[in-house]
Every structure is written in structure tokens, then in C-alpha cells.
Amino acid sequence: DTLDRIKKLIANQHFISYSSPIKLVDDLRNFKLKKNVHSSGKQFDITFISNENDRTKAEESQLLINDIFRINPLYINYSEGLDYEAICSISILNSDLCVVFSKNATEWAIHFSQQIWKLIGGASSQIPILVVFDKKTVSETDVLLDIPNVYTLFTEDALVGLEIKMFYEKNVVKQT
């Protein structure tokens, strides 16, 4: 009986040690958001995000991995007036991997990746973000993304699905 009471008390306690109050508040917000999201029961392998301008190529890339992964596609179109920060962060926190795809919207993909990285917990997030660029339209020297747990991939259209599959198998640890 006493052991059960102790287990109930410990189950909802979190012990923390932060040198910065800003980091503490950021992690508390992230924890609260994760707790609310996972209660929905939905789970995706990949949240696949692209700009509306790249939608056709993004859909083609998703077709190659649709049979392997449970994908939640999101196409960002700011003219619709939706709160994409909330939509994306909830979807990403309900996934094992976030893919930001860019065929022609390089600057958008860079800034968007940085923004969602902050929203899902920054350096404390355990969800990797893979930013995929078309190597015909952008070179590796044009993109500087030096952020923890954010990876860049430069590939050809035909190889996007295969590259994502290989990245997933190598870098994503399935949580059971």
C-alpha cells in the first residue's frame, strides 16, 4: 500500500537542474506541449512539410515512401491564414522524424526549419529535422544550417524517397 502511494507520487514528479531559467521555461513549455499532443493517440513516422510552391514535387517524393512510412503531409500556404506554427509543432511532436522539403524555396526552408526547431524544443528536442534540398537548384555552400539535430540533405528528385528511408533507418530510434 505504501509502495503504491510512493509510485503514484513519483510518477508525476520531474527532477531538474538548469543553470539558466530561460532553458527551464523552454523545456517546461515543450514538456507540456508533448504531454497534450501524445494524449491524442495519433502517431506518424514522418511529418513531411513543404511550401505550397513545391507541393507537386513533395507529393511525388512521398509516393516513393508512402508504403513504408506513415506520413503526415503539410503544405504551407501563408495566404490561407492558418496558424502553421501550432499545426506543425503538434504534428512534429506526434512523429519520429520531420522532413522539410524544398525544390525551389531554399530560403523559406532554411528559415522555416530554424523556426520549427525552436517550437519543438530546440536543442532538447529528440525529434530530428531533415531538410531536403534539390541539388540541381541549390549547392551545399549556399546553405548554412549548423543546428543540433537538424540535418541537411542535397539530392536529386528521383532519390529523395530512398535518401529519407536511409536517413530514417540510420538516425531515428523507434520509441515503443
Q: What is the pLDDT of residue 11?
A: 61
Answer whether 0.85 is exceeded by the pTM: no
- Could you list the mean pLDDT of each consecutive 10-residue stretch along the chain, which spans 176 residues? 66 62 65 46 81 90 87 87 83 91 88 91 88 82 79 89 90 59
Check: CB of residue 167 under 8 Å from CB of residue 130.
yes
Long-range CB pairs of 155-159, under 8 A, 24+ apart, other chains included: 157/57, 157/60, 157/61, 157/103
